[in-house]
Chains A and B, each alone.
Chain A
Amino acid sequence: MATIEFKGKTFEVDEDGFLQRFEDWNPDWVDYVKESEGIKELSEEHNKVIEFLQDYYKKNGIAPMVRILSKVTGFKLKHIYELFPSGPGKGACKMAGLPKPTGCV
C-alpha cells in the first residue's frame, strides 16, 4: 500500500492507484489522478460522470452497470471512452474514488 501526498492532502492507494477508502475522496484526488488517466482538463461532462458514479455507489453500494451509466448520463460508451480513455472502470471509477472493479476483468 502506498501513500500519496498531493496539495497537502494524503491518499492511501493500492498498486493500481485506486483509493483504499471512498471517504478519502475529495476534488483534489481527481486533479491528481487525471494526468495518469490521460486527461488534460476536466469538463462538465467528466464531472457529470464522476458525480453520477458517486451518487449511485452511495445509494446502491455498487458501481452501475455500463448500460445504466450510459442511460442516466446520456453518454454512449464511445463518448465515455473519449472522456476517460482508460474506460469507465479503470478511468472513471478510479477518479470517482470507487473500489477497484473485481471479477474476471
Chain B
Amino acid sequence: MAFVSSGYNPDKPMEDRISDIGPRFYKEFLPPVLEKNYGKWVSHEILEPGLLVHEAESGDKVYTVRVGSARLISTELIREACAVAKQYCDGYLRWTTRNNIEFMTTSLESAKALKADLNSRKFDKGSYKFPVGGTGASVSNIVHTQGWIHCHTPATDASGTVKIIMDELFEEFTNMRMPAIVRVAVACCLNMCGACHCSDLAVVGFHRKPPIIDHEYLDNMCEIPLAIASCPTGALKPGKTELEGGKKVNTILVNNDRCMYCGNCYTMCPSLPLSDKEGDGVIIMVGGKVSNRISMPKFSKVAVAFIPNEPPRWPTLAKVCKKIIEVYAAEANKYERLGDWAERIGWESFFKKTELEFTHHLIDDFRDPAYFTWRQSTNFKF
C-alpha cells in the first residue's frame, strides 16, 4: 500500500507532539449501573458457571457473563466482542486479569440470552469464540506469554501449548467441580513473564544445552561484562580466541559444567544463542498460589523435569497436566488449593498418587537455600 501520513511531520518530529498523557481514566468506561453503585456493593453470588450477580445497597443488580479468550486475538474478534456488547450491554465490556472477557447487564433474562448467544458463536473450524465459564472452583484462563509468535528467547511456544491444555481441560472451564480454583500458567522461558512461579499448575519452557558462542561477532554485538554478570552460576568468563583467519578477538568462554541453560546470557548478548530443537522442551511446576486464604502465598515447585516439545499438540504435556488435575480433583479436600493438598499429604504422596517420576533433577542444588528444601526430619511416609 502506498504511504498514508497520519499528519506526523518527520522533518519536525517534536512539533505537535503529545506525550505523558497516560491511560484513559477508567470511569469513562464504566457501565452506568457500576458508576452509580461504585463502592456500595453488599453481596455477590455465582448463579451458574460463567454467570455472576452483584447486588448493591440500592438494590440494583448487575449480572456478569465471563467468557474465555485466546488473549492473542485479531481486531476482527475484538469488533465482534464490541458488537455483542453493543447488542446486550449498551456498548460496555471489560477484560479480566486472566484475559477473559466480561459482559455486564442489569437483568437476568438478558444475561441468560447473552450467555446462550455467546456459547453459540464458533470459528469456521468449530472452536468456541466466546465459551462461557471461568468462575468459582474451575480452571479459568491460562496466563501465558509470547512464545514463537514474537519473543527471541523462548524454549517453547505459548499460544500453542495453552490451546492444547485448555482443550484438554475445557470441561473444567465450563464447570465448577474442583476442590478450589486451579490457576494454570505458561511461560516460554525461565524469565517467567507472568505467573508461573505462583500458579497451581505451571508450564515453563526449558533448554538443555549450553549456548553456542559466535566468537566472530561477540565483541561487536555485546557488552561482555554484562553477559558475564548475567550468569547465575558464574559459568562465564572473558577470554580471547583466534578466528580462522588468525585474527585475535575478545570473547566469552562458557564452562559447560557450570551452565544450567537458563539463557540469561543470550538475553544480554545476541552472540550466545542456545535454542535447540531436540534440547528444548518444558518443565511442569505445581503448588503455587498468590492469595493468603488460609495458607500463606506459595511458590510453585518443579514436579516434572522435562517433557519434549511436540508441536502442534504437545500430547505428552496435555496428558500429564490432565493427570495432575484429575488426581488433585479426586483427592483434595474442599477449599484446598493444589499446593495446600500436596503439603498436607506430603510431597512423597503427591508423587505416588500422580504417578510422576521423581528424578534427581527435582532436588534443589542452587546455593545455600537449597539446604532448606531437603528433609531434616524423620517424618516421612514409605
Contacts and interface: CB of A to CB of B under 8 A. Distances in A.
A27 interface: no
A21 interface: yes
Contact of B224 (A22, A61, A85): A61
Give the interface residue-count category, chain B: 10 to 19
Contacts of A61: 223-225
Given A102-B267, A104-B191, A62 B220 contact: no
B226 A62 contact: yes
Given A21-B220, A38-B14, A85-B14, A103 B225 contact: no
B195 interface: no
Contacts of B165: none
A102 B14 contact: no
B269 interface: yes
Contact of A99 (B191, B223, B225): B223
Given A38-B14, A62-B225, A99 B220 contact: yes
Nearest to A99: B221
A98 to B, nearest CB: 8
A60 interface: yes
A62 B13 contact: no
Nearest to B221: A99
Given A102-B267, A103-B268, A104-B191, A38 B13 contact: yes
Interface string A30-58: 00000000100000000000000000010
Interface string A72-105: 0000000000000100000000000001101110
Nearest to A62: B223
Interface in A2-34: 20-22
Contacts, number: 35
Nearest to B191: A104
Contacts of A102: 222-223, 226, 267-270
A20 B223 contact: no
A22 B226 contact: no
Interface string B1-38: 00000000000011000000000000000000000000
B205 to A, nearest CB: 16
Contacts of A99: 220-223
A42 to B, nearest CB: 16
Interface in B172-206: 191
Contacts of A20: 217, 220-221
Nearest to B17: A85
Nearest to A39: B13
A63 interface: yes
A41 B349 CA distance: 71
Interface in B241-276: 267-270
Nearest to A24: B220
Contacts of A22: 220
Contacts of A57: 223
Contacts of A100: 221
Query: Which one of B217, B221, B224 has the highest number of Cβ atoms from chain A below 10 Å of its Cβ?
Result: B221
B236 to A, nearest CB: 13
B189 to A, nearest CB: 11
B314 to A, nearest CB: 26
Nearest to B266: A102
Contacts of B267: 102-104
A85 B12 CA distance: 12
Contacts of A104: 191, 267
Query: Which one of B13, B191, B222, B270 has the highest number of Cβ atoms from chain A below 10 Å of its Cβ?
Result: B13
Query: Which one of B191, B217, B222 has the highest number of Cβ atoms from chain A below 10 Å of its Cβ?
Result: B222
Interface of B: 13-14, 191, 217, 220-226, 267-270
Interface of A: 20-22, 38, 57, 60-63, 85, 99-100, 102-104
Which 7 A-B pairs give the minimum distances between C-beta atoms?
Answer: A62-B223, A38-B13, A21-B220, A61-B225, A102-B268, A62-B225, A61-B224
24 contacts: A20-B217, A20-B220, A20-B221, A22-B220, A38-B13, A60-B225, A61-B224, A62-B223, A62-B224, A62-B225, A62-B226, A63-B223, A85-B14, A99-B222, A99-B223, A100-B221, A102-B222, A102-B223, A102-B267, A102-B268, A102-B269, A103-B267, A103-B268, A104-B267
